[in-house]
């Protein structure tokens, strides 16, 4: 049973470009979470999604950032017009139904570097 799959593992973008980060949850998991981690810091919640629904996006910046989890395919975290401050590791996690009180399983993350 494959775990949470994130791609790409590393992504380099120039300022002003778009970054798309993908996350395929574990089989049978319908809840996806995105977190941002700066070096030497903790996991900052960004957004929580179920299939075709955004449940909580309170941790996501109001501009340039968006997330989706379509009926088919992976969850996508999209960052438009990237800036240097967007450089970070972005982790995706998934859990089965009943999120909040279920273990979250993390992917290996995407390390985003902005030139």
Which residues contribute to the site for other proteins (CB under 8 A)? Answer: 33, 35, 41-45, 48, 55-56, 58, 91, 93, 98-109
β-strand partners of 106: 93
Query: Which residue has 């955004």 as its token pair?
Result: 54
- The Cα 56–Cα 16 span in angstroms is 27
Beta strand pairing call for 110-114 and 10-13: parallel
DSSP, res 9: S
Task: Pick between residue 17 and residue 28 the one whose CB is nearest to other proteins.
Answer: 28
Task: Pick between residue 41 and residue 52 the one whose CB is nearest to other proteins.
Answer: 41
What is the nearest approach in angstroms of other proteins to the Cβ of residue 102?
7
What is the nearest approach in angstroms of other proteins to the Cβ of residue 110?
11
Task: Pick between residue 14 and residue 101 the one whose CB is nearest to other proteins.
Answer: 101
What is the nearest approach in angstroms of other proteins to the Cβ of residue 70?
19
Task: Let me know: does 23 contact 9? Beta carbons within 8 Å.
Answer: no
């Amino acid at each position: 049973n494959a775990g949470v799959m994130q791609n790409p593992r590393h992504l380099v973008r120039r300022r002003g470009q778009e970054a798309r980060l993908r996350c395929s949850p574990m089989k049978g998991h319908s809840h996806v979470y995105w977190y941002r981690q700066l070096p030497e810091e903790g996991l900052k919640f960004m957004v929580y999604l179920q299939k075709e629904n955004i449940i909580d996006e309170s941790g996501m910046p109001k501009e340039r950032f968006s997330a989706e989890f379509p009926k088919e395919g992976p969850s996508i975290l999209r960052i438009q017009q990237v800036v240097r401050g967007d450089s970070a590791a972005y982790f995706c996690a998934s859990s089965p139904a009943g999120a909040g009180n279920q273990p979250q399983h993390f992917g290996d993350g995407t390390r985003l570097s902005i030139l």
